[in-house]
Amino acid sequence: MESHVGASYQVTRRPRRPMGFWIAKGAQYSLLILFAVFVLVPFMWVIFTALKSNLEIAQDPLGLPPNWRLENLAQAWNQGKFSRYFINSVIVTVPIVILVVSLSCLAGYGLARLKMPGRMLIFYFFLVGLMVPFTAIMIPLFYILRDIGVLGTYWAMILPQTAISLPFGIFFMRAFFSGLPYDLTDAAKIDGCNDFGVFRRVMLPLAGPAIAALVVFNFMGSWNAFLLPLIYLQSDKLRPIMTGMMFFTTRWGPDYSMSMAGTLIVMAPIMAVYLVFQRQFIQGLTAGAVRG
Amino acid sequence: MTDSIRQFFANRKLRDYATAYAFVLPALAIYVFFVVYPFFYTIYLSLTKWDGAKPVKEFVGFLNYEKLFADPRLWSALSHNFIWIILGTVTPVAIGLFLGVLLWRGVRGMVFFRTVYFLPVVLAPVAVGIIWKWMYNPQFGPINSTLRAVGLDVLAKGWLGDPYLALPAIILAGVWGYFGFCFVVIMAGLQNIDMEQIDAALVDGANGAQRLWYIIIPGLRHVLTMITAFTLILGVNVFDIIWITTRGGPGRATHVIATYTYNTAFRESYVGYGSALAIVMGLVSLVLSFIFISIRERGGD
């Protein structure tokens, strides 16, 4: 009886892992956790600091907030005019994303699939724009925007941000449309679609994932843009969230509790969206480095 | 007149061309007016002396460029870009590769680690700068407070106020905000590595370092070149995080070419000289991007 149980135990038992395996496993996890801590600790201290009073910060800068003062957030929101800044960011970002994505789809499709003289020349002409840094055009752009009378309006950010985002958008969408099979377009043409019809009814519906990546990429690009609004949207009424946040933390400099509360307000929504749409975020943000 | 228009549209080929151009034209118009034209305008401005307000832009030829070569502030700014490029490229790529290799065969909690490492990447550089300005705060900042709490008071210092430490301190903040990006791209590259080769190497008794050096790194060649070039270009253009943390200070210890250009053209109103700086920066960036794009077009398949 006893020996029988022992034998069956012998058969089903998992192979013994050598000691070295567990040491390696332990080292692996320690390192992974170490880097996770390196990432998370600054976030933790931003949250802690934001929810303390300045006196509590001075008494214990490292510990948990003794009172979790959520009212700090409300106070920063009101005193920092964050609602204004958020609205401004939305007002400039939405048209930029719509313009960049629709113009890039059109031009990318045209350059990938339609015959026209000088097609490659136009494509390379756009490609050069991928290599021109914003700094190389920012100075005269200020005077151009002033002369056409848009300085002091949201267009002073919408137009240049759209323009500098187009080369990548076109490059990206052209690569995508080039990869679609030609049978589809031919079939639609036989059914009597014209070029625009093929684009709108056949190609665009297939481009969903590519468009989503481009939307995330450009949304983040213009939401996070800093130098461009710093130069062209100087009026406090027009200021988007990034430059607004800079002026807020400068103004409240030594008031650490207020400036961290402001920072938390700005960070929280984007992080919440990231945690929900993680895959789309990662795809969209790495679109620039990974082949589209 | 109407006849010729009708004829034009009757010609199928011409009509197709017209449609094709209509797809491209709106993007082209915006691009030409707000990117190409300003670029040539910058070249023109770089040949003038102008304060941005006077009605006349005084043409001075290459004078700005002559001054520029003798300008120690330009060379110091470029050397900071150089340091940023070296440290700011090698470190995040190395960390990304290291974590990628630790994680690539699937580990319990894989999704958690990826989520965490990528978290700072979604933050704006401005937010990264503000967070780390607080971390480095000399009085109550977490870094100094921790040092004091464990009795290392001597090590507590004004990190961003020290001319030797400020630049490395900002680079560390940049690495914090960026290594997750390298990690994710490298992880994507690791998926394409041939597992049979690894298994064969295991049978032949290759150790971890040998597998990394002879199989994994060669397999990641394209991904690593691409991400290195990409990071390099970011290093040439870095502006936001430096402007938020130190504005180029203390003294000129953290000025890079972009902050120097912005400061010269917009805060000191030397528009002509600033434009010459912008052209220098454009050239550096152009050369690097050209290399990047030619690698990208060639590689990957």
pLDDT in tens, A209-237: 889 889 988 998 999 999 999 999 999 89
A107·B293 Cβ contact <8 A: no
Could you read off the pLDDT of A177-210 as tens digits, one per residue? 888 888 877 888 788 778 788 888 888 888 888 8
For chain B, what is the radius of gyration of the CA atoms?
26
Q: Which fold has domain A81-251?
A: MetI-like fold (1.10.3720)
Could you read off the pLDDT of A121-158 as tens digits, one per residue? 999 999 888 888 899 999 999 999 999 999 989 999 99
| The pLDDT of residue B38 | 96
Cα-to-chain-centroid distance, residue B9: 48
Higher pLDDT, B177 or A190: B177
Q: In this predicted structure, which of A44-48, A67-71, B36-40, B127-131 has the lowest mean pLDDT?
A: A67-71
Which among B26, B184, B275 has CB closest to A139?
A: B275
Q: Does B79 touch chain A (CB under 8 A)?
A: no
- Name chain B contacts of A196, Cβ cutoff 8 Å: 19
Which among A139, A226, A249 has CB closest to B240?
A: A226
The interface residues of chain B toward chain A in range 192-231, judged by CB-CB distance below 8 A, are 226-227, 230
Q: Does B42 touch chain A (CB under 8 A)?
A: yes
Pair A283, B182: CB distance under 8 Å: no
Query: Taking residues B20-27, what's their average pLDDT?
Result: 91
Total Cβ atoms within 10 A of residue B107: 14
Look at residue B298 and tell me whether its pLDDT is greater than 80.
no
Q: Where does the pLDDT of residue A164 fall: very low under 50, low under 70, confident under 90, or very high at 90 and above?
A: very high
Query: Would you put residue B300 in left (φ > 0), alpha (ψ -120 to 50) or beta?
Result: left
Residue type, A245: M
Q: In this predicted structure, which of A233-242, B184-193, B200-209, B251-260 has the lowest mean pLDDT?
A: B200-209
First to last CA, chain B: 53
Residue type, B206: A
The superfamily in CATH containing domain B64-298 is MetI-like (1.10.3720.10)
Beta bridge partners of B49: B58
Contacts of A158 (CB under 8 A, 6+ apart): A92, A95, A96, A99
CA distance B279 to chain A (A): 6
Residues A222, A224, A230, A234, Cα dihedral to 10°: 70
Q: Does B37 touch chain A (CB under 8 A)?
A: yes
| The pLDDT of residue B191 | 82
Q: Does B23 touch chain A (CB under 8 A)?
A: yes
Q: Does A289 touch chain B (CB under 8 A)?
A: yes
At B48 the three-state DSSP class reads strand
Q: Within 13 Å, how many C-alpha atoms sit on residue A23's CB side? A: 3
Q: Does A122 touch chain B (CB under 8 A)?
A: yes
Range list for CATH 1.10.3720.10 in chain B:
64-298
B31·A167 Cβ contact <8 A: yes
- Name chain A contacts of B293, Cβ cutoff 8 Å: 127, 130-131
DSSP H or E segment with residue B58? strand B58-59
Could you read off the pLDDT of A49-103 as tens digits, one per residue? 888 888 888 888 888 888 888 888 888 888 888 889 999 999 999 999 999 999 9
Task: Tell me the ipTM for this assembly.
Answer: 0.87
DSSP H or E segment with residue B49? strand B48-49
Which among B19, B180, B281 has CB closest to A136?
A: B281
B30·A166 Cβ contact <8 A: yes
Q: Does B104 touch chain A (CB under 8 A)?
A: no
B30·A162 Cβ contact <8 A: yes
Query: Taking residues B34-38, what's their average pLDDT?
Result: 96
| The pLDDT of residue B152 | 84
Cα–Cα distance measured from residue A2 to residue B8, given in angstroms and rounded to the nearest whole number? 99
Look at residue B140 and tell me whether its pLDDT is greater than 80.
yes
Look at residue B92 and tell me whether its pLDDT is greater than 70.
yes
Cα–Cα distance measured from residue B191 to residue B26, given in angstroms and rounded to the nearest whole number? 40
| The pLDDT of residue A254 | 75
Which among B176, B262, B293 has CB closest to A227?
A: B262
Which among A36, A117, A134 has CB closest to B17?
A: A117
Q: Does A222 touch chain B (CB under 8 A)?
A: no
B42·A106 Cβ contact <8 A: no
Hey, CA dihedral for B41, B47, B51, B54, is it positive or negative?
negative
Hey, CA dihedral for A227, A232, A235, A237, is it positive or negative?
negative
- Name chain A contacts of B132, Cβ cutoff 8 Å: 42
B293·A141 Cβ contact <8 A: no
Q: Does A175 touch chain B (CB under 8 A)?
A: no
CA distance A134 to chain B (A): 9
Of the candidates A234, A145, A136, A147, the one whose C-alpha atom is nearest the C-alpha of residue B55 is A147
Burial of A124 (0-12, 13-18, 19+ CB in 10 A): exposed
Q: Does B9 touch chain A (CB under 8 A)?
A: no
Output the average pLDDT for chain B.
87
Query: Taking residues B64-70, what's their average pLDDT?
Result: 91
DSSP character at residue A16: P
| The pLDDT of residue A160 | 96
CA distance A163 to chain B (A): 5
Q: Where does the pLDDT of residue B167 fall: very low under 50, low under 70, confident under 90, or very high at 90 and above?
A: very high
Look at residue A163 and tell me whether its pLDDT is greater than 60.
yes
Look at residue B295 and tell me whether its pLDDT is greater than 80.
no
- Name chain A contacts of B115, Cβ cutoff 8 Å: 275, 278
- Name chain B contacts of A267, Cβ cutoff 8 Å: 123, 127
Of the candidates A267, A273, A256, the one whose C-alpha atom is nearest the C-alpha of residue A53 is A256
Q: Does A231 touch chain B (CB under 8 A)?
A: yes
Query: Taking residues A249-263, what's their average pLDDT?
Result: 84
DSSP character at residue B247: T
B34·A133 Cβ contact <8 A: no
Beta bridge partners of B66: none
What residue spans define the domains of chain A? 81-251
Residue type, A149: G
Q: Where does the pLDDT of residue A1 fall: very low under 50, low under 70, confident under 90, or very high at 90 and above?
A: very low
Q: Give Cα separations from A52 to B20, B33, B119 (angstroms).
A: 61, 50, 24
DSSP H or E segment with residue B59? strand B58-59
Pair A229, A245: CB distance under 8 Å: no
